[in-house]
Structure 1
Amino acid sequence: MTPVPPADQQRPRRADARRNYDRLVAVAREAFREEGADASLDDIAKRAGVGPGTLYRHFPSRDVLLAAVVRESIDALHARAEDMLTAEDPDAALLAWVHAAVAHAGTYRGLAASMMSSMYEEGAPLRSSCDRMHEAGARLMERAQRQGSARPDFDAADLFDMIAAVAWVTERSADGPGAATRLLPVVTKGLLAGG
């Protein structure tokens, strides 16, 4: 049996582990921004000043690391949806959230594709983030269907697919975010029954 170190020696190890975790997330965020979601994990470890073993101890797969990197932004997107549930105009609230969700999905090249594949994979590291986005959009959609003009035949899965599709096209466009600016008004017009 391995002896347990005294409590005063355990705290520094935990503090070091936390610092390594935080540093890896910060470096990965930057690497994903620069190189996309397929950035080299070994390069991320090197830039963070740790060995690959340390990275894989904290993040056993790319999707676990990606889920940690996007957690805060998903939480912010979810909170924004909650705030928008009390907005005066349910259609405007839904459209504003869709624009924010497309911008989020396009944060890193490859993020939209990773999230879409995780949406249908039970136990996938990004699944809980996808579920939170799905739930947030569903509530706004249902409110717009009840009180606004959102099409009754459109559901949250359709909404999520639309967001991912626009984000995917945008990341491949030479125009970048300009593509979303052009596409979203056209795509979301069909979302509203009166559009």
Structure 2
Amino acid sequence: MNLAVARKPLRADAARNVDKIITAARECFRDFGPDVPLQTIAATAGVGPATLFRNFADKEELVLAALNRQLRLSVDPVIDDALADMDAAGGLLRVIEAIMAAASDNANLLGAVAGRRELLTGITGSLIDSIGVLLGRGQGQGTLRADISMTDMFRLLAMLIGVVDTMEPGSDAWRRPVALIEDAIRTERPHRPLPAQVPLPASQLQGPQVTGQPLRGSRLS
């Protein structure tokens, strides 16, 4: 059972402490990066370390609680609207965009569970179910490719989440890859230009410069 999601009902004062800790965690991860000490988070929340550890056994559990809150706040309303929309394909793409915006805004939280992102399954179960519903509807409407499976969608989402590791936190560089995925899953490619190319962060550039253009002398040039 994922303790970051399934928690026993808390007293009002304990619930306020949990809220303060999660809010402080988002602030500290944003400002100091994924390696911020839990003691710094406790101090920012105005609680003692013992209070933090009484509610969260370790950093992973706190990170998952913070990510879960952000998904519920920023993605769940988009899912509700998408499920009520007659255009299933359009709804599905809006959900994917909401997921990517949340991932970008919380890049340092994701970085704190890098290498163990299977942990995210516990907070994305209902989201994946909704994507399955939208995929099936879109295929029935003829707007999404009939040969795409939920396994494909799961892997495509995992690929897109990986894009966050190649961009600055808070950037909208994910929009171009999402547009490419849309071109791949729709039965008809949308008539629109791709979003602008966003360069890789300087820290990502090693060896030959990556510019978005084929390298001279390569088989692609």
Say whether the fold is shared (TM-score over 0.5). yes
| 2:144 corresponds to 1:147 | no
Contact 2:101 2:172 in 1 (8 A): no
1:68 aligned residue (65, 87, 91): 65
1:98 corresponds in structure 2 to: 96
Equivalent position SS for 2:107: coil
Comparing 20-29 with 167-176, which one deviates more in the overlay?
167-176
Comparing 85-94 with 103-112, which one deviates more in the overlay?
103-112
1:85 aligned residue (83, 86, 110): 83
Contact 1:36 1:108 in 2 (8 A): no
Comparing 176-185 with 23-32, which one deviates more in the overlay?
176-185
1:127 aligned residue (117, 121, 124): 121
Structure 2: give runs of 5+ residues left out of the alignment.
1-9, 190-221
Please, what TM-score do these two structures have when normalized by structure 2?
A: 0.68
Contact 1:37 1:111 in 2 (8 A): yes
1:53 corresponds in structure 2 to: 50
1:152 Cα deviation after fit? 2.3
Equivalent position SS for 2:145: coil
Which segments of structure 1 move beyond 4 Å, counting only runs of 4 or more?
110-113
1:176 Cα deviation after fit? 5.8
Structure 1: give runs of 5+ residues left out of the alignment.
1-12
Number of matched residues?
Answer: 178
State the distance in 1 between where 2:115 and 2:124 align.
8
Cα shift readout 1:121-171 (whole Å, capped 9, x = no counterpart): xxx5x4331212211211111111111321223233432332332232234
Alpha carbons of structure 1 residues 82 and 49: separation in structure 2 relative to 1, 3 Å: closer
State the distance in 2 between where 1:112 and 1:158 align.
22
Alpha carbons of structure 1 residues 89 and 19: separation in structure 2 relative to 1, 3 Å: closer
1:57 Cα deviation after fit? 0.8
2:185 aligned residue (162, 178, 191): 191
Identity %: 29
| 2:159 corresponds to 1:162 | no
RMSD between aligned alpha carbons?
A: 2.8
Comparing 176-185 with 100-109, which one deviates more in the overlay?
176-185
Alpha carbons of structure 1 residues 158 and 38: separation in structure 2 relative to 1, 3 Å: farther
1:27 Cα deviation after fit? 0.6
2:216 corresponds in structure 1 to: none
State the distance in 1 between where 2:186 and 2:114 align.
25
State the distance in 1 between where 2:117 and 2:18 align.
23
Alpha carbons of structure 1 residues 115 and 135: separation in structure 2 relative to 1, 3 Å: farther
State the distance in 2 between where 1:175 and 1:79 align.
23
Equivalent position SS for 2:133: helix
Matches within 5 A, 1:39-50: 39-50=36-47
2:202 corresponds in structure 1 to: none
